[in-house]
Amino acid sequence: MKFLDKLDKAVKQNNSLVCVGLDVDLQKVPQTVLNQEDPIFVFNREIVNATKDLVCAYKPNIAFYERYGVYGLASLIKTIELIQQTGIPVILDAKRGDIGTSSAAYAEAAFNIYKADAVTVSPYMGKDSLEPFLEYRDKGVIVLCLTSNPGSKDFQRDIFINVAFQVKDWNKHGNLGLVVGATKPEDLAEIRKIVGEMPILIPGVGAQGADLAAAVKAGVDKHGNRAVINSSRGIIYASKGEDFAQAAAGAARKLRDEINKYREK
Amino acid sequence: MKFLDKLDKAVKQNNSLVCVGLDVDLQKVPQTVLNQEDPIFVFNREIVNATKDLVCAYKPNIAFYERYGVYGLASLIKTIELIQQTGIPVILDAKRGDIGTSSAAYAEAAFNIYKADAVTVSPYMGKDSLEPFLEYRDKGVIVLCLTSNPGSKDFQRDIFINVAFQVKDWNKHGNLGLVVGATKPEDLAEIRKIVGEMPILIPGVGAQGADLAAAVKAGVDKHGNRAVINSSRGIIYASKGEDFAQAAAGAARKLRDEINKYREK
C-alpha cells in the first residue's frame, strides 16, 4: 500500500495523529529487557504491542541503532518487520542527503533493506539528490524544512519557505512530505498554507516543550489530518521500570486525546 | 593521532592530495573477487594495498555499504580496520545531520563503531547539530558547503558563503573542514580565502568532469596543501577486469602527478 494511504488509514482507524519515535537507548530500558537475547527488539516489540491501537506511525531514528553497530541495525530490521504486521506505517528517520549513485544506494537501503514506508531526507543538496528516492512511488519521502532546534536559525531561516515551495513543485507522484518543528507554530501555519494537504511530520512537542495546541492547529490540513505529531522519549520512557509498555500506552493515549481536542473544528 | 596531523603526514609522505572514494558496487567487481567469502572487503583490500603509497586519504561512502545490509556494514568496519594499519586517514562520507541525542549517536557510530578519522556532515540543522561531533577533538568533521551536482543551485547558492563563515567561526578545536565541489572553481577560491588553511574535501574531478587545474589552484591553501581531491569510480573502476588493483594504482598515480603539476608555485 502507498505510504500516504497507509497513513490515512491508520489515522482514521486509531483516530490518532500520534507518531511514536522509537529512539532506543539501552541505558534507559529495564533489566528484564536487557536480560533478553535481543533487548533492542524486545523493547520495541513491547512498545509497539502496547501502542499499536493508539498511533498513526512509528518513527525509528536510525542513529540510535547504528550506534549499536550491525547488531543494532539487525534489531532495527526485525523491529520494522514486526511493525509491518500491524498495518501502521514506518517512517525511517535517517535525514539522508547525497547525490547520484550514493543517493540511489541510500534509497535502496531505506526501502529494500530496512523496508520502511517512508524516510526523512535533507534538502541541502537539491532536487537531484532526492530524485532516486522519489522513484519509489509507493514510498514516502519526507524532507527537512524547518526543524525544532536552536540551530534551525543558522541556515534554514533563509531558505525554508523556498524549500516548501520547491518540494510542493517536485511532488509529481504525491509521495513527498515535510518535517516542520512544533516549536514555531506561525511558520508551521505558513508552510501548511503553501503545501496544502501534504503530510507534515512534526517533532518537538515533548522534550522540546512546544505549545501543543498551537502546533496542532497550525499543522493539520483543512480536514484536521496529515499532521504526524511525533513524541519519542515522552512515550517510550514514560516509565523506566517494568511497566514501561503500559506507561507508553498511557502516554500515547493522553497525547492522542489532547491532540484530538485541538483537531476539532 | 589527530585527523589533520594524520592527513598532513600522508600528504607529505606520499606527495599526494588524492583521496580514493571506496564506493563499492558488486556489479562492477571481477568474478574472482565475487567468489571470495567477503567480496566487498577483498575488493577494498586489493585497492588499498595497491594505492596506499599514492594517496592522502580514503573515503568510503557509507551508502554503498548500507545498501548491502548488515553484511555490507560489517565489510565496511573490516575495511576501515585494515586502512587504519596503513596510517592513511579514513573519511567516512556519511553526510549526517541530526540534533541532540540523535546527533551524538551518529557521532558515536562514526568514530567508535566505524572508527573513522573524519566524517562528512550536513550543515542544514545548524550549529547544535554539529556540536556532538566536534567534541571528538581528534576527529575531523567535514561540513557540506557547496557540492558539485546540479541541485547545488537549489538551496546552497543562497547560503554557502554563510556556511563557510560560520564553520570557520565554529572551528575552536581546529577539527572542522568543508566539502566544496570541484565544478565551481571560482566559488572554491572564494571559500578558500574565507577559511584559510582549513582542509577542503573536493569531489567532482572524475565523472563530473571538472577542470582539474582550476580546481587544484583554487582549492589548495597558500602552502599548496589541505585540498583533499577525491576520485571514486575513476580510480576503483579504472579496470573492471582482474587487473583492477593495478589499474587503480595507475589511475591514482596519474591523478596525483597531474594534481602536483598545478600545486607547484
Counting one residue from chain A and one from chain B, the pairs whose CB atoms sit within 8 A come to: 174
| Coarse DSSP helix, strand, coil percentages of chain A, rounded to the nearest 5 percent | 50, 15, 35
What pLDDT shows up at residue A22? Answer: 98
Which residues of chain A does B109 touch, with a Cβ-Cβ cutoff of 8 Å?
A: 63, 66-67, 69
The average pLDDT across A219-243 equals 97
Residue B207's pLDDT band, with cuts at 50, 70 and 90, is low
What pLDDT shows up at residue B13? Answer: 98
The average pLDDT across A103-124 equals 98
Condensed to tens digits (0 to 9), the pLDDT of residues B66-100 reads 999 999 999 999 999 999 999 999 999 999 999 99
Amino acid at A48: V
Angle (CA) B133-A121-A112 rounded to 5° is: 110
Q: Mean pLDDT highest for which of A54-63, B149-158, B199-208?
A: A54-63
For residue B172, count CB atoms less than 10 angstroms from its CB and return exposed for 0-12, middle for 13-18, buried for 19 or more. Answer: exposed
Residue of B nearest to A113 (CA): B69
Best probe of the A interface among B25, B79, B99, B147, by most A CBs < 10 A, is: B99
Condensed to tens digits (0 to 9), the pLDDT of residues A212-223 reads 999 999 999 999
Best probe of the B interface among A93, A98, A236, by most B CBs < 10 A, is: A98
Residues 6+ positions from B182 with CB-CB distance below 8 Å? B148, B188, B202, B203, B204, B205, B208, B210, B211, B212, B215, B219, B229
Helix (H) or strand (E) holding A50: helix A39-51
Does B101 contact A23 at a Cβ distance shorter than 8 Å? yes
Instruction: Give the domain ranges of chain A.
Output: 3-263
Catalytic residue among B6, B52, B95, B184: B95
Does A67 contact B108 at a Cβ distance shorter than 8 Å? yes
Q: Is the pLDDT of residue A58 over 90?
A: yes
Condensed to tens digits (0 to 9), the pLDDT of residues B11-55 reads 999 999 999 999 999 999 999 999 999 999 999 999 999 999 999
Does B102 contact A149 at a Cβ distance shorter than 8 Å? no
CA distance A200 to chain B (A): 17
CA distance A9 to chain B (A): 29
The average pLDDT across A87-96 equals 98
The class of domain B3-263 in CATH terms is alpha beta
Question: What average pLDDT does the structure give for chain A?
Answer: 96
What pLDDT shows up at residue A210? Answer: 73
Angle (CA) B111-B117-B120 rounded to 5° is: 80
Q: Is the pLDDT of residue B208 over 80?
A: no
CA distance A37 to chain B (A): 18
CA distance A264 to chain B (A): 32
Instruction: Give the nearest partner residue to A151 out of B125, B147, B154, using CB atoms.
Output: B125
Q: Is the pLDDT of residue B107 over 90?
A: yes
Does B66 contact A109 at a Cβ distance shorter than 8 Å? yes
Which residues of chain A does B159 touch, with a Cβ-Cβ cutoff of 8 Å?
A: 155, 158-159
Euclidean distance between CA atoms B217 and B227, whole angstroms: 10
For residue A15, count CB atoms less than 10 angstroms from its CB and return exposed for 0-12, middle for 13-18, buried for 19 or more. Answer: middle
Does A151 contact B166 at a Cβ distance shorter than 8 Å? no
Best probe of the A interface among B108, B121, B154, B165, by most A CBs < 10 A, is: B154
Looking only at the bridges linking them, the beta strands covering B18-21 and A227-231 are unpaired
CA distance A191 to chain B (A): 17
Instruction: Give the nearest partner residue to A126 out of B66, B106, B155, using CB atoms.
Output: B155
User: Nine-digit cell at A27?
Assistant: 541505558
Which residues of chain A does B80 touch, with a Cβ-Cβ cutoff of 8 Å?
A: none
Q: Is the pLDDT of residue B265 over 60?
A: no
CA distance A73 to chain B (A): 7
Does A155 contact B97 at a Cβ distance shorter than 8 Å? no
pTM for this predicted structure: 0.97
Name which of B70, B130, B68 is nearest B96 in CA terms: B130
SS3 per-residue string spanning A84-146: HCCCCCEEEEEEECCCHHHHHHHHHHHHHHCCCCEEEECCCCCHHHHHHHHCCCCCEEEEEEE
Does A97 contact B152 at a Cβ distance shorter than 8 Å? no
Residue A265's pLDDT band, with cuts at 50, 70 and 90, is low
Instruction: Give the nearest partner residue to B124 out of A64, A99, A124, using CB atoms.
Output: A124
Q: Is the pLDDT of residue B210 over 90?
A: no
Which residues of chain A does B121 touch, with a Cβ-Cβ cutoff of 8 Å?
A: none
Which residue matches cell numbers 539522508?
A96
The average pLDDT across A135-160 equals 96
Question: What average pLDDT does the structure give for chain B?
Answer: 96
Instruction: Give the nearest partner residue to B63 out of A102, A151, A155, using CB atoms.
Output: A102
Helix (H) or strand (E) holding B165: helix B160-170
Best probe of the A interface among B40, B66, B142, by most A CBs < 10 A, is: B66
User: Nine-digit cell at B107?
Assistant: 557521532
Q: Which residues of A are catalytic?
A: 95
Radius of gyration of chain B (CA): 17
Say which DSSP state B174 is in. Answer: S
Condensed to tens digits (0 to 9), the pLDDT of residues A172-207 reads 999 999 999 999 999 999 999 999 999 999 998 976
Say which DSSP state A232 is in. Answer: S
